[in-house]
Amino acid sequence: MIVRLSKALLVLMIGLFALLAGIHNIIDYNTNFTFVQHVMSMDTTFPDSALKWHAVTSPVLHHAGFGLIIALELVTGIACSWGALRLWGSRRAPAADFNESKQGATVGLVFGFSLWFLGFMVVGGEWFQMWQSESWNGQQGAFRLTACIGIVLIFLNQKDDELA
């Protein structure tokens, strides 16, 4: 039972984090919007970079990019929280039912993994060369989140046997 409860709790923690991140980005929009704006504009990357052509300087696209980040944070948070509730509800169920109840949590974790790995590490870090910026580099934070989510995703999807 402790493994099942742990799975539900860990998924819930990821869900709460993502919900808070999304809600905070709505409430304090300009703080992290500035981050997205600098990353997409590539205005703090190496000045002689041959990849400056990747820069996006349109404020409309900056807002669209940040809106997508917020939407994915909220989707991650809602799916993980709902998934955690399903796990909690099936904690005493037969193994097949408990294993089936992992789907919502898995979807939420994959959305989160995609946001912070694809969105921040691949698109932000490599496409927009965020790693070159001393002041607007979110790769370490994104890696920590990606690692945490990945570990929970692996743990969650280990097959659960019947309760003793």
Mean pLDDT in each 10-residue stretch from start to end of the chain (164 residues)? 96 98 98 96 95 97 98 98 98 96 97 98 97 94 97 96 87
Q: How far apart are CA 103 and CA 32, in angstroms?
A: 31
What is the predicted pLDDT for the residue at 143? Answer: 97
Q: Is 158 within 8 Å of 150 (Cβ atoms)?
A: no
d(CA 163, CA 60): 53
pLDDT at 163: 87
Sign of dihedral through CA atoms 8, 10, 11, 14?
positive
pLDDT at residue 164, as a whole number: 81
Token readout for 149 is 């989510």
Closest CA to 107 of 128, 67, 78, 130: 78
Specify the pTM.
0.93
Cβ distance 45 to 134 under 8 Å? no
- Between CA 111 and CA 116 the distance in angstroms is 9
pLDDT for the residue numbered 10:
98
Burial of 137 (0-12, 13-18, 19+ CB in 10 A): buried
One-character DSSP codes across 73-98: HHHHHHHHHHHHHHHHHTTTS-HHHH
Kindly list the distances between the CA atom of residue 142 and the CA atoms of 82, 89, 99, 115, in Å, as whole numbers in the listed order.
23, 31, 29, 9
